[in-house]
Amino acid sequence: MAETVELNNGVRMPVLGLGTFKLRGYEAVYRALDAALAEGYRSFDTAAVYRNEGDIGRALKELLPRHGLTRPDVFITSKLGPKDHGSEARAACEVSLEQLGWGYLDLYLIHWPGKQGWQSEDLRNREVRRESWEALEEMYKSGRFRAIGVSNYTLTHLQELLGSCKVSPAVLQVEYHPRLVQNGLLSFCRETGIHLQAYSSLGTGSLVKEPKVRDVVERYGKTPAQVLLAWALRQGVGVIPKSGDPQRIAENARALDLAMKPEDVLELSSLDSGTRYCWDPQGVV
């Protein structure tokens, strides 16, 4: 399987990255990134709300030379915090850059379609989304963001954005797993040249003990996590499994080696029940 995907602006992005949600404290960050780099990970996903951008930037500055790597060898993603939607977006982008300390980011996403503290039905959400995207476009045009995109956007949010943007989003990051197979969203992304990236691939752990997942695990002799990650990868969907455990980090990397058969992909997809384990953006106008 190809280990990178070409985004709609020509930038290449690894299809598997390390998620860092809930990874806190420099020692924990350093340990996880060290293990990930040793296992071939070259993509690292963070966000302003994770409060670990500074530790990730510092750890990479120490670790890259030790692994014989330089900054262009890795792909760093961060995200705009929901509290910074609108007029504060440009300043928040600068803070992320300063925290990570590299001068540019490979990918920057709008984390959520609504502004923190506002009701989901507040019509002003549309306006701050537009303002935030304009800020990202400015950063992209200046070369400080190599690619820009969105997270947790619904089909409606995406269509709205594509109707007004000057730079099309390169990536959409959403919750995506066998119990939440967003086929309509995936098809739309394929049609419009947007790369879909999954988070919560294990359904916050609930899918690991699912009998159908266990059946596929037995067929391939792999771990449940490897099977669930490979399920997404075989559909051309990127994954960012989060872990601070070196053994789990190593195991997850092997998902790239699993040549899952189409019938097994379909069997796991039959679990679809529209179940969300994380946040539901459908109510945000």
Q: Which residues are catalytic?
A: 50
* C-alpha closest to that of 117 among 85, 95, 92, 87: 85
Query: Is the Cβ–Cβ distance between 174 and 195 less than 8 Å?
Result: no
247 burial level (CB within 10 Å; 0-12, 13-18, 19+): exposed
Give the DSSP letter of residue 277: S
Backbone angles phi, psi at 37, to 5 degrees: -60, -40
Distances in whole angstroms, Cα of residue 139 to Cα of each of 8, 89, 144, 249: 17, 11, 6, 32
Is 195 annotated as contributing to ligand binding? no
**Strands of the sheet with 195-199, listed across from one edge:** 18-19, 43-45, 75-80, 107-110, 148-151, 171-175, 195-199, 238-239
The Cβ-side half-sphere exposure at 138, using a 13 Å CA radius, reads 11
Binding residues: 111
Binding residues for substrate: 111
